[in-house]
Structure 1
Amino acid sequence: MRTSPNTAPLNGRWRRIGSAATATAALLIAGLGTAAHASADTQAAQPKASGKAIAAAVAKAHVQYESACGATPKKGFASCNALRVTSGTTAFQEEQAAKKGVAPATVKPNAASATPTGYGPSDLRSAYGLTSASASNGSGQTIAIVDAYDDPNAEADLATYRSYYGLSACTTANGCFKKVSQTGSTTSLPSADSGWAGEISLDVDMASAIAPNAKILLVEANSSSMADLGTAVNEAVKLGAKFVSNSYGGGESSSDTSYDSSYFNHPGVAITVSAGDEGYGAEYPAASKYVTAVGGTKLSKSSTTRGWTESVWNTNSTEGTGSGCSAYDAKPSWQTDTGCAKRMIADVSAVADPATGVSVYDTYGSDGTGWNTYGGTSASAPIIAAVYALAGTPGSSDYPSQYPYGNTSALNDVTSGSNGTCSTSYFCTARTGYDGPTGLGTPAGTAAFTG
């Protein structure tokens, strides 16, 4: 178990929901026409491999769990989330290796790469039918990212990510990027933390990937307590954001309904929350009836008409997307599954498996300096927040979490996989229609995310 050096104390904190996976530079990714390629020397050094050998190497890919912080929550807090580091190969490496007829390179944990090895913006927009879904690409919208502690390199790292993938600059100077504390201050920021910095990089990069023309408002809470994170959510809404992404969570408690009214009851604002990364089991604030709870999938290219296929993300018995029936939060009127009398998690989903993870650029995080491949529902929550931004401003009195329930045909139904064992099958097992791990499915354009 390792701890983030700038966080004290760590036990009893809300955990970040996200997975970091670092990668080697042998096989590289393409993105918006700016793909780098391995050098001739590197390619020559890679042994040629048969399709059977490549398949065998792919089968060995796995995800290694590394604990970043303490794990015993106190009331009103939860532990900082453990990081999950890909060990093996990523889906993009497998694809590139197959094209070259070579064996896929092995990803080494905690060793950032000079070039990306995960999915980039063009991959994600292709997978979710967003290549022509919004001509404005989020122009005029503000996506707020709520996290704990400060990432001193957030703006610079975001600039590198966007430049590599050919996205326009998003800076403080041009008014696209703004970083504030939970009280709205741009100068009096929380203490820096290398663990949460990786989370911040993941969140702002995913918002950029899906809605590149949207403004990004990063709101940094003073700590990982629910009181501070909730105050940051309120500040994000106060500053005008109509889309607020939250990649943290913890076990449910009887205090959750009071947190609902204090921090998450914001009609007219799409608030997304990660469903969790520890497999079957309900978490808060994903269980809030006022938010869109976002589950996670394994996303792979395929020969289908869509060109992609998805299943429930489940690495092992302790790592996978969260889901479940809340013990405390009331069921919203638009949620109609009959097995759970209270709030059911999740509503929708997107890619989260670190083995089919997304590329992120981070120089302050605890998982190395440079390009990393991340997973977890920390990736899926900001992706869905950005899809909402593409879809347009919610109705002023609406709770946008209801929108997907009104247009399920505009979602990719995920029907295979499970995230654990449960007495009511759909709580943990994918099926046709609604299920806990993936909700109603993943975006197929923006139509399911508008009122």
Structure 2
Amino acid sequence: MKKTSLCLAMGAIWALASTAAAAAGVDSTWKTTATRAHVPAASVNMSNLVASSMPLHVQVTLKIRNKGALDDFIAAAHNPASPLFRAKLQSSDVAAHFLPSQAQAQAVADYLSHAGFSHVSVSANRLLVSADGTASNARAAFGTRFVKGTDEHGRAAYANIDDAKVPASLADVVLSVSGLQTVTHPHTMLARASTQGRVEKGRPGGGGATLVGHNPTAFPTIYNVGGTPAASTITVGIISDGDMTQPLKDLNQFTSTNGLPAVNTQVVTVSTPGTDTSGTAEWDLDSQDIVAMSGGVGKLIFYAANSLSNSDLTAAFNKAVSDNQAQVVNVSLGECETSAYQDGSMAADDQILALGVAQGQTFSISTGDSGSNECTKKPTGTTPSYPASSPYVIAVSGTSLSTGASNSWVSETLWSGAGGSPSTVEPKPSWQTQGGGTTRDVADVAFDADPNSGAIIIVNGSNAQYGGTSLAAPLFAATWARMLAAHPTLGFAGPHLYSVSTASYHDVTSGSNGGETATVGWDYASGFGSGIVSALNAGL
């Protein structure tokens, strides 16, 4: 678009925005984005609307260009009959063919500025445009009103009661708008054992087996790595948030205590530095188990978001993909799939994760600790956690692990808290050959997650025992890092996990998560089961 025509177009958009603000609504030509009303307007008391001066931070996700071509490339790259089989996009390919143009990003930035937002910032790959403003600015820009609410912890929050819209002139550019609600957001998926080193006999769902905590250095033996090479040539990422000072100290203490080499680490701060330290145990669990299970990685990168809000985590995903340094990225986080869908973060994250798949990256995601239904405290339904339900990731469920002498594997049953159930909205990827219907089936694989058979790690300088699918995901991330060390051309794990012999897995055949039951063969609750690393390596 020429500069003159771009200015004319922007002038028309600004006029629409001014009209919308004056009329306290939106023009009929405006188009709805992927961000939907978080709370239906008809269900709220309008006296609970927030003050127009309420501050908020928004992040607009732009649509990638040539989405159809990207989908075709991903399909071809995972088709053994295609000449593009195992091909990977380079960052330069992504920039040239799929990222938004400079003119598109600038148009969105200018639109936000004219609507009254400040501190407008465009991400390096032009996919995200963020800004600070007020509820009044958001109503002018997106036609949204907000109502007061509380989050799951009882803290004051707000939620949009209108779908986010943009003028028709931006409809082909803007995908979604995050930051319009703070009622729901992702959370960590870890659970602490009630007693360190705890042993339980005859625990319901445990098949009468003995459960005991494990030093992370035991997992390579338990899951039989055999002669599979260590991941010493592979870079692994961890999506995290806040201050990483203590997790780095704990990791150094862990390697020193266990006689392991020091880890080459890097902290990549996404947006403004965060000060939160409440997630220290989570990032300890992720990092120490990745290092131990992988046999050591070439580099470990912490992508530290400012917070666990949807918008901040989308920025962290975007950074990990745009950097294209980590071949495997661990995400021990998730939220109700329905919330992510309404928020628009699902649409935003999926296209970022799709770019990651095209580059050969694998995101390992916890399926959650709330059983078959991530959306309520009790598993009365079957709605999975997101981003585990994305078709562009590996969803890792959890087991109760029983071991014998010399860390020998004895048995695994489904951990009752492990997430796993069919998606309600996400499409089934072409490589997922198990399950029924047309939606994504969760999970793909499973590893130890029961806190009573969990990992004894170092947290704030002292030993502590943790589980949850926050343990299962890094165990798979480390396993796949080993696979990439042995087979550098593999790329994204999904199609390979479904093509190898089932003899590559410990089949989990008993246990329930409330709505799904582990059975012989693949099932929603546990996927194919846990990996027998040496067998998986031999089958690839």
Contact 1:275/1:323, CA 8 A, preserved across alignment: yes
- Please identify which structure carries the higher helix content: 2
Contact 2:366/2:472, CA 8 A, preserved across alignment: yes
Contact 1:391/1:446, CA 8 A, preserved across alignment: no
Matches within 5 A, 1:408-423: 408-421=502-515
Please point out which of 495, 499, 513 is paired with 1:406: 499
Alignment match, 1:133: 228
Structure 2 CA distance for partners of 1:386 and 1:82, relative to 1, 3 Å:
closer
Please point out which of 286, 311, 320 is paired with 1:227: 311
Alignment match, 1:199: 282
- For the aligned residues, what is the CA RMSD? 3.0
Contact 1:242/1:270, CA 8 A, preserved across alignment: yes
Task: In structure 2, give the amino acid aligned to 1:382.
Answer: P
Contact 1:68/1:82, CA 8 A, preserved across alignment: no
Structure 2 CA distance for partners of 1:306 and 1:155, relative to 1, 3 Å:
closer
Q: Give the superposition deviation at 1:129.
A: 1.0
Q: Give the superposition deviation at 1:437.
A: 1.6
**Partner Cα distance (1:345, 1:208) in 2:** 26
**Partner Cα distance (2:249, 2:315) in 1:** 26
Contact 1:217/1:236, CA 8 A, preserved across alignment: no
**Partner Cα distance (2:254, 2:535) in 1:** 28
Contact 2:237/2:328, CA 8 A, preserved across alignment: yes
Contact 1:73/1:79, CA 8 A, preserved across alignment: no
Q: Give the superposition deviation at 1:126.
A: 1.4
**Partner Cα distance (1:127, 1:190) in 2:** 37
**Partner Cα distance (1:435, 1:306) in 2:** 25
The alignment partner of 1:321 has SS state of coil
Which sections of structure 1, spanning at least 5 residues, go unmatched?
A: 1-66, 96-103, 105-116, 171-175, 315-319, 364-368, 422-427
Q: Are 2:423 and 1:326 equivalent residues in the alignment?
A: yes
Structure 2 CA distance for partners of 1:119 and 1:70, relative to 1, 3 Å:
farther
Please point out which of 401, 415, 431 is paired with 1:313: 415
**Partner Cα distance (1:435, 1:198) in 2:** 30
Matches within 5 A, 1:5-16: none
The alignment partner of 2:398 has SS state of strand
Residues paired across the two proteins, number: 336
| 1:77-122 per-position Cα deviation (integer Å, ceiling 9, x unaligned) | 425448633225645x579xxxxxxxx9xxxxxxxxxxxx831134
Alignment match, 1:57: none
**Partner Cα distance (1:219, 1:258) in 2:** 18
Q: Give the superposition deviation at 1:204.
A: 0.5
Matches within 5 A, 1:7-406: 69=153, 77-78=184-185, 80-81=187-188, 84-88=191-195, 90=197, 118-134=213-229, 137-170=230-263, 176-182=264-270, 189-193=273-277, 195-214=278-297, 215-237=299-321, 238-253=323-338, 254=341, 255=344, 256-267=346-357, 268-281=360-373, 282-302=384-404, 307-314=409-416, 320-363=417-460, 370-392=462-484, 398-406=491-499
Q: Give the superposition deviation at 1:399.
A: 3.2
The alignment partner of 2:193 has SS state of strand
Alignment match, 2:523: 435
Alignment match, 1:48: none
Alignment match, 2:136: none
Task: In structure 1, give the amino acid aligned to 2:372.
Answer: Y
Structure 2 CA distance for partners of 1:151 and 1:420, relative to 1, 3 Å:
same
Structure 2 CA distance for partners of 1:324 and 1:304, relative to 1, 3 Å:
farther
| 1:7-51 per-position Cα deviation (integer Å, ceiling 9, x unaligned) | xxxxxxxxxxxxxxxxxxxxxxxxxxxxxxxxxxxxxxxxxxxxx
Structure 2 CA distance for partners of 1:133 and 1:70, relative to 1, 3 Å:
farther
**Partner Cα distance (1:410, 1:302) in 2:** 21
Contact 1:269/1:399, CA 8 A, preserved across alignment: yes
Q: Give the superposition deviation at 1:226.
A: 2.2
Task: In structure 1, give the amino acid aligned to 2:476.
Answer: I
Which sections of structure 2, spanning at least 5 residues, go unmatched?
A: 1-150, 160-180, 202-209, 374-383
Alignment match, 1:366: none
Contact 1:121/1:165, CA 8 A, preserved across alignment: no
**Partner Cα distance (1:221, 1:232) in 2:** 6
**Partner Cα distance (1:211, 1:416) in 2:** 28
Contact 1:69/1:82, CA 8 A, preserved across alignment: no
Structure 2 CA distance for partners of 1:80 and 1:335, relative to 1, 3 Å:
closer
Q: Give the superposition deviation at 1:73.
A: 9.9
Q: Give the superposition deviation at 1:222.
A: 1.1
Larger Rg: 2
**Partner Cα distance (2:407, 2:260) in 1:** 27
Q: Higher RCO, 1 or 2 (CA under 8 Å, sep at least 6)? A: 1
**Partner Cα distance (2:481, 2:512) in 1:** 30
Q: Give the superposition deviation at 1:397.
A: 8.7
TM-score, length-scaled by structure 2? 0.57
Structure 2 CA distance for partners of 1:303 and 1:169, relative to 1, 3 Å:
closer
Alignment match, 1:317: none
Structure 2 CA distance for partners of 1:89 and 1:211, relative to 1, 3 Å:
closer
Q: Give the superposition deviation at 1:384.
A: 0.5
The alignment partner of 1:266 has SS state of helix
Contact 2:189/2:334, CA 8 A, preserved across alignment: no
| 1:323-357 per-position Cα deviation (integer Å, ceiling 9, x unaligned) | 11111110011212343420010000100000111
Contact 1:302/1:309, CA 8 A, preserved across alignment: no
**Partner Cα distance (1:73, 1:299) in 2:** 41
Q: Give the superposition deviation at 1:263.
A: 4.2
Structure 2 CA distance for partners of 1:247 and 1:82, relative to 1, 3 Å:
closer
The alignment partner of 2:533 has SS state of coil
Contact 1:151/1:196, CA 8 A, preserved across alignment: no
